[in-house]
Amino acid sequence: MKVAIKHYGLTAADLGLAPKAGARAPKATAKAGRRSAPKGKASKTTRPIKYRDDAGNTWVGHGKRPKWFVDALAGGKTAEDLLVK
């Protein structure tokens, strides 16, 4: 490859290896090496606990209802009884 590059007189810019005129180098950040969440996906955040039972089980109220919550409702408790106040 080096022989062909020398023979044809190609430069790094001709091969697309050199930065274009006016292009900026990427800035270094404090989080160098760490990637952010993929585009279109939010990063994971914590939610405050919304429901708690006497045994200490907790649920944020988002997603599928946990078994302990369903069992408590079947046992006669209401969702308001399990709300964290």
Fold of 46-85: H-NS DNA Binding Protein (4.10.430)
How many residues does this entry show for the chain?
Answer: 85
Give the span between the Cα atoms of 32 and 18, in whole angstroms: 23
Measured in degrees and rounded to the nearest 5, phi and psi for residue 23 equal -75, 145
pLDDT value at residue 58: 95
Give the span between the Cα atoms of 58 and 12, in whole angstroms: 59
Against a cut of 0.85, is the pTM above it? no
pLDDT tens digits in sequence order for the chain, 85 residues long: 889 888 988 888 888 887 766 666 666 666 656 666 667 666 778 899 999 999 999 999 999 999 999 999 999 999 999 999 8
pLDDT value at residue 68: 96
pLDDT value at residue 36: 65
**DSSP 8-state secondary structure symbol assigned to residue 54:** T
Tokens of residue 68, six digits:
């302990």
Measured in degrees and rounded to the nearest 5, phi and psi for residue 72 equal -65, -40
